[in-house]
Structure 1
Amino acid sequence: MEKVEKSLSRNALASGLQTENRLICALVTYPYLARILRVDQLGQYDFAATIVSWAALVAGLGIYAYATREGAKKRDDPEELSRFASEVLVINLASTLLAYFGQAACLLFSSKLREYGPLIWTLSFGIIFTTLGCEWLYAIHEEYGYLALRNICFQVLSLILLLTYVKDESDLLLYAWTTVAGSAGANLINFLRLRKYCTWFLTWRFSWQQHLLPILVLFANSLVDLLYVRVDVAQLGVMTSDYYVGLYSVASKVTALLKQSLGSVIVVTVPRLACLYGQKGGEFFQKLARQIADLLVILALPAACALFALGEEVVILTADLDFAPAAGAMKFLGLALVFSLLGWFYIAAVLVPARQEKAALLAISIASVVNVSLNFLLIPAFKEAGAALATLLADLVTCLACYFLAKKLARLLPSGKKLASSLLDCLYVTGSCWNLSVEVDGSRKGEIFVQSRQKTCEAVALTI
């Protein structure tokens, strides 16, 4: 048990280091890009990256989760693990080829996507390297320290390439290559080290059905999750223009970074919760889970209030005055942060340890339908603010659905004392932020934010 505890501690430390490095790189990268590239160009990049994420999903299927779960059972048998890894790699290569063919067909038949052809193909170059990298094999052997060191080194390399070569508005494609270079290099190192863990070989003669059925079930979960997370950018790009995608990308990236930072407490405690649920019964599980729920509320509510109160200032600080109309979207996504974190907690910390993946899939599926439907209703009228409001309402649905599904397993409403303390913190943060906003010279930005504030009020009124 002691060895397991130390292993969990090291894994948590490695995960924390990766998260912090990712946050630091993002805090340097995005303000720099916002000042070098235009809103429209960042919108082009984000839309192209969304399209590539769908191709990457098809290439990956549910292979990472399946291979990690099943391969761990064969870790102590090198011959059996080598056979299993070879079969999974062949399936992954086949799905990658299918993904590239599907992407080529979409570009061939869609005039809208053909406009983004060079950017899409550049970003998709990294898909094959992800397949060859077989990161799931390193997860099987719990090589989280190596993965953390590798990721940090190549994230720093990607940042150096970005600052060196991306200098003006014409360097959008170079920016795409810098991101691909980092991920491709990391996975190339993985590929070169595979022989250390198994002797793999290419073979087509094995029972595909044995692997494909569970892989496709996990793929369905990944598909619904990606639909829930990325559909707003895709719909915004198709229904409006690159300009509004660029505005939305600023707001979504800021809130995503904050969510990653606050959500790290979920990531590092899920293994312990799963262990407690499976081995020690409900009392210890309930106690730790309740403490995490309280902590999330204490952190998330004041953070959401700060983003709502200082939406304009955060946009300008993160990007530039050209991105100021994104303030309305920032306010909605800031409020969504609370429900998003709690929904994530109920899924990762309660439903999954209790083997209720189907219940989690049901909750996300319902929220995805809500999100897509509201996007069709709100985006034409309110553009990026409409997409953000749809996300807020979808996160609310996810949180409520997951809570009602999880409450049969654990009573995880935040304690009244902690909730009251958090609400008092919210009042203090809101007042402080309002005073700060008043002290800022409003003469220059007064007219800039009229459009975003008007969109915010109109969208709320329509929803009510």
Structure 2
Amino acid sequence: MTYKVMQKNLRLNYICELSYRILTILIPLITTPYISRVIGPAGIGDYSYTQSICAYFLTIAVLGTELYGQRQVAVFQDNLEQRSKLFWDLLIFRFITIAIAFVAYIWLIVIMPAQYKTLFIIQSMGILGLIFDITWFFRGMEEFPIIVIRNLIVKLLGILFIFLFVKTQADLNLYVFSITAASFLGNMSLFFSIHKYIKKPVWKKVEIKKHILPSVTLFFPQIALIAYNYFDKTMLGSITKSSVENGYYEQASKIIFVAITVIIAAGNVLAPRIAKLFGQNDTLKIHELLYKSFDITFFLSIPLCFGLIGTASNIVPWFFGDQFEKVILLLQLFSPIAIAMGMKNVIGVQFFIPTNRQNYYTLSIAFGTFINIFCNLLLIPKFASMGAIISSVISEYLLVGVALFLARKELNIHRIIQKSYKKIISSSVMLVISLLLSQSLSPTFVHSLFIIAFSALSYIIILLLLKDELLIDLMQFKIRKK
């Protein structure tokens, strides 16, 4: 494959992945204001708490095969025999691990308080749906359009179900069902396309043992990551015994995680390409992609952080409703995590994992998890949801610091940080503008849209005045296309 074709495919895949990520932003913009008012803080908190526990079982069920399968398929992209055998090996392996996790999950349902049993039962569908989840294969093949089309259909059906059937607080179970059922059906739909990429199985040649160790090796960073991402919700619910506080935390974190999906899209696209380049020992091109990815990450995450701080007071009242006023401060405190999460994605998902340095990834995530738990124990009893958010921000930045230290021999840290200062200057000016506008304008959808648009324009103008290389490159590319 020529370099130009590789670049074209990367752009196509990024556009597809970005389109899906934008879709994941638009859907909450449609459903969250409705769900916040219909279900309320307590219902959202119950879902958040039970879903955080279910997430541990979802991770255990696939035992690292998501990342391992994607990486290996990327290596065997051009070998039909090898990738077909790999597919059937991992499909059988995953079936066994999912069955074991499902049995353990049923035991959990038995011992859980009656308040949460129904929600846990509904979410069990998510574990069963993993049997049909072959997204890892299509990501390894860099066939992102297939994934995007499937997710588009599933998400739209989920929206339709919510507006048709979720009408009161008593419909919390229906809301959770719509989420899990959509995921289940979406996973099944991928099987309609798989026959184009693999051969029929030769059951006598199926091997499982050789995949156990590499999958388990990748499982440790995954379980550490999922614990790191969900311990806040689990500990918040367990310590405070307050569904409302968990509801506040859920809504603040939802805005953050929805917003950074555009940034994370690059990681999903570049990871299989870097794995392929690593197999070809093309270190120079790997570093070229990584430094460009850091630049893109700063370009998006820094103004996102500053923008959320400036606009939270205008967005939250109309978006979530009067019951969620506390989310304004929570969102402002949470915003800095966007920068650290973007950097973590580049170092971990785009560099450590594809280049077989998952032990570094595991170590950094484990360190972040330890710090997060320690800070949660100190801060949640006194500050509740605010304490959980402060803990997350502290641990995320310390995690990135450890990851950068571990990557110091491979990556030029000074070169990475250097790419951020123009974005920080531009975003600082944008923050002042957004704060002034938010104080002057009432909290409505139209006003928020105006503040965001005007702030974004100011950010771009200042970057142009500072002659930011990435922005100039993007504009020159647009001009050439015309």
TM-score over 0.5 for the pair: yes
Displacement, 1:269? 4.4
Note the alpha carbon deviations across 1:397-443, whole angstroms, 9 max, x for none.
0111111122211214357875443333233223223312332469x
- Amino acid paired to 2:340: F
Displacement, 1:280? 4.7
Change in CA separation of 1:417 and 1:84 when aligned onto 2, cut-off 3 Å: closer
What is residue 413 of structure 1 aligned with on the other side? 414
- Amino acid paired to 1:24: L
Cα separation, 1, equivalents of 2:339 and 2:143: 33
Please tell me whether residue 432 in structure 1 is matched to residue 433 in structure 2. yes
What is residue 53 of structure 1 aligned with on the other side? 55
Aligned residues of 1:326 and 1:385 also touching (Cα < 8 A)? no
- Amino acid paired to 1:356: R
What is residue 109 of structure 2 aligned with on the other side? 107
- Amino acid paired to 1:62: G
What is residue 457 of structure 1 aligned with on the other side? none
Displacement, 1:159? 1.0
What is residue 29 of structure 1 aligned with on the other side? 31
Aligned residues of 2:14 and 2:265 also touching (Cα < 8 A)? no
What is residue 98 of structure 1 aligned with on the other side? 100
Aligned residues of 1:158 and 1:182 also touching (Cα < 8 A)? yes
Q: 2:21 aligns with which of 19, 22, 27?
A: 19
Aligned residues of 1:351 and 1:360 also touching (Cα < 8 A)? yes
Aligned residues of 1:50 and 1:234 also touching (Cα < 8 A)? yes
Note the alpha carbon deviations across 1:163-196, whole angstroms, 9 max, x for none.
1111222211111121123212222222355445
Displacement, 1:129? 2.3
Please tell me whether residue 388 in structure 1 is matched to residue 383 in structure 2. no
Q: Secondary structure at the match of 1:314?
A: helix
Aligned residues of 1:293 and 1:414 also touching (Cα < 8 A)? no
Change in CA separation of 1:246 and 1:430 when aligned onto 2, cut-off 3 Å: same
Change in CA separation of 1:35 and 1:409 when aligned onto 2, cut-off 3 Å: same
Q: Secondary structure at the match of 1:199?
A: coil
Stretch of structure 1 that moved more, 3-12 or 284-293: 284-293
Aligned residues of 1:273 and 1:353 also touching (Cα < 8 A)? yes
Aligned residues of 1:363 and 1:398 also touching (Cα < 8 A)? yes
Note the alpha carbon deviations across 1:316-358, whole angstroms, 9 max, x for none.
2431111111223212210121222222222234434543221
Displacement, 1:301? 2.6
Cα separation, 1, equivalents of 2:261 and 2:45: 22
Cα separation, 2, equivalents of 1:61 and 1:266: 21
Stretch of structure 1 that moved more, 150-159 or 182-191: 182-191
Change in CA separation of 1:247 and 1:193 when aligned onto 2, cut-off 3 Å: same
> How many residues in Structure 1 have an aligned counterpart in Structure 2?
438
Note the alpha carbon deviations across 1:278-329, whole angstroms, 9 max, x for none.
65544x5555544443443343333222322333333224311111112232
Note the alpha carbon deviations across 1:108-157, whole angstroms, 9 max, x for none.
2333xx42111111122132222124333434544322221111111111
Aligned residues of 1:311 and 1:330 also touching (Cα < 8 A)? yes
Please tell me whether residue 231 in structure 1 is matched to residue 228 in structure 2. no
Displacement, 1:262? 3.1
Change in CA separation of 1:317 and 1:409 when aligned onto 2, cut-off 3 Å: farther
What is residue 146 of structure 1 aligned with on the other side? 146
Change in CA separation of 1:421 and 1:195 when aligned onto 2, cut-off 3 Å: closer
Please tell me whether residue 403 in structure 1 is matched to residue 404 in structure 2. yes
> TM-score, length-normalised on structure 1?
0.85
Change in CA separation of 1:136 and 1:309 when aligned onto 2, cut-off 3 Å: closer
Q: Secondary structure at the match of 1:410?
A: coil
Change in CA separation of 1:266 and 1:243 when aligned onto 2, cut-off 3 Å: same
Q: Secondary structure at the match of 1:408?
A: coil
Aligned residues of 1:43 and 1:242 also touching (Cα < 8 A)? yes
> TM-score, length-normalised on structure 2?
0.82
What is residue 246 of structure 1 aligned with on the other side? 247
Cα separation, 2, equivalents of 1:302 and 1:411: 24
Change in CA separation of 1:433 and 1:117 when aligned onto 2, cut-off 3 Å: same
Aligned residues of 1:34 and 1:319 also touching (Cα < 8 A)? yes
Aligned residues of 1:39 and 1:323 also touching (Cα < 8 A)? yes
Cα separation, 2, equivalents of 1:140 and 1:297: 26
Cα separation, 2, equivalents of 1:279 and 1:126: 38
Cα separation, 2, equivalents of 1:74 and 1:266: 20
Cα separation, 1, equivalents of 2:344 and 2:17: 21
Change in CA separation of 1:317 and 1:345 when aligned onto 2, cut-off 3 Å: farther
Stretch of structure 1 that moved more, 233-242 or 132-141: 132-141
Change in CA separation of 1:336 and 1:83 when aligned onto 2, cut-off 3 Å: closer
Stretch of structure 1 that moved more, 417-426 or 38-47: 417-426
Displacement, 1:210? 1.9
Stretch of structure 1 that moved more, 421-430 or 400-409: 421-430
Aligned residues of 1:332 and 1:388 also touching (Cα < 8 A)? yes
What is residue 186 of structure 2 aligned with on the other side? 186
Cα separation, 1, equivalents of 2:76 and 2:277: 24
Q: Secondary structure at the match of 2:335?
A: helix
Displacement, 1:53? 1.2
What is residue 447 of structure 2 aligned with on the other side? none
Change in CA separation of 1:158 and 1:217 when aligned onto 2, cut-off 3 Å: same
- Amino acid paired to 2:162: L
What is residue 135 of structure 2 aligned with on the other side? 135
Cα separation, 2, equivalents of 1:421 and 1:311: 24
Aligned residues of 1:326 and 1:384 also touching (Cα < 8 A)? no
**Structure 1 residue ranges without an equivalent (≥5):** 443-464
Displacement, 1:390? 0.3
Displacement, 1:87? 3.4
Please tell me whether residue 65 in structure 1 is matched to residue 67 in structure 2. yes
Cα separation, 2, equivalents of 1:201 and 1:24: 44
Stretch of structure 1 that moved more, 239-248 or 7-16: 7-16
Stretch of structure 1 that moved more, 380-389 or 181-190: 181-190
Cα separation, 1, equivalents of 2:275 and 2:211: 25
Cα separation, 2, equivalents of 1:69 and 1:271: 6
What is residue 460 of structure 1 aligned with on the other side? none
Displacement, 1:19? 1.1
Change in CA separation of 1:435 and 1:68 when aligned onto 2, cut-off 3 Å: closer
Q: Secondary structure at the match of 2:384?
A: helix
Stretch of structure 1 that moved more, 9-18 or 29-38: 9-18
Cα separation, 2, equivalents of 1:56 and 1:43: 20
Cα separation, 2, equivalents of 1:65 and 1:271: 10
Structure 1 segment 290-439 matched on structure 2, within 5 A: 290-413=291-414, 419-439=420-440
Aligned-pair identity in percent equals 21
Stretch of structure 1 that moved more, 179-188 or 158-167: 179-188
Structure 1 segment 199-210 matched on structure 2, within 5 A: 199-200=200-201, 208-210=208-210
Note the alpha carbon deviations across 1:344-402, whole angstroms, 9 max, x for none.
22223443454322112111110110001111111111011000000000111011111
- Amino acid paired to 2:395: A
